[in-house]
Amino acid sequence: MKLKVCGMRESDNIRELMEVKPDFMGMIFYPKSARYVEESPQTDLDVATVGVFVNESTEVIKEKSKKFGFEMVQLHGSESVEQAKELKQLGFTVIKVFGVMDQLPLEDMKPYESTVDYFLFDTKTPQHGGSGQKFDWSILESYDLEKPFFLSGGIDLEDLESIKALNIPQLYAVDINSRFEIAPAVKDIQKIKSFKHQL
């Protein structure tokens, strides 16, 4: 299973994370987020970097992608199928997020299935993620689409066994964030290292 560490920003912290070698690293470009990124980190990024956006224009996504040098985008708002398709045509790998509480929005997801590369399921909150809250993972058993997905939402070190027990072939990666923080956008690297080692 792959590991994505989201909400990174600080250069020294990112440099330490590079030694852990996660599969993906997310940087958040949502101004209302406590983990909002304004400046490019002063370090080499030896990892697949994901730009996280909420209801942003394609032009801004292109601009930020060029500035920060990433080829993957995570659409964390109510972005349309048309915009996802446009970003795919521009060469991006696209992750489309769906907020979940007590059931999967399968009908809402189906129009995106032929366009995006991955889905991501996060706990539905007004803040568009980073809440540290979990949803009921048992509802993932109803997932019958072929598209691989990332699991997010309040994941902590003690959730490893529950995640492994899910046994869902389409579960491609685990996305960790706020439960591994010392402060917003500052991660506990040893805790991440322990999680990755056991994943």
Neighbour tally for 7: CB within 10 Å: 26
Active site residue 122: yes
Q: How far apart are CA 170 and CA 2, in angstroms?
A: 12
- Within 69-198, where are the H helices? 81-89, 106-109, 160-165, 189-198
pLDDT in tens, 139-173: 998 899 999 999 999 999 999 999 999 989 999 99
Residue of 102, 122, 156, 188 with catalytic role? 122
Q: How far apart are CA 187 and CA 193, in angstroms?
A: 11
pLDDT in tens, 5-33: 999 999 999 999 999 999 999 999 999 99
Contacts of 129 (CB under 8 A, 6+ apart): 6, 33, 52, 76, 97, 122, 123, 152, 153, 177
Contact 26, 8 (CB under 8 A): yes
Helix (H, G, I), strand (E, B) or coil at 188: coil
Residue of 6, 12, 117, 188 with catalytic role? 6
Please report the pLDDT score of residue 170 as a whole number.
Answer: 97
Please report the pLDDT score of residue 36 as a whole number.
Answer: 96
Q: What is the pTM of this model?
A: 0.95
Q: How far apart are CA 157 and CA 198, in angstroms?
A: 9
pLDDT in tens, 81-118: 999 999 999 999 999 999 998 899 999 999 999 999 99
Contact 153, 121 (CB under 8 A): yes
Please report the pLDDT score of residue 15 as a whole number.
Answer: 96
Domains of the chain, residue spans: 2-198
Fold of the domain spanning 2-198 = TIM Barrel (3.20.20)
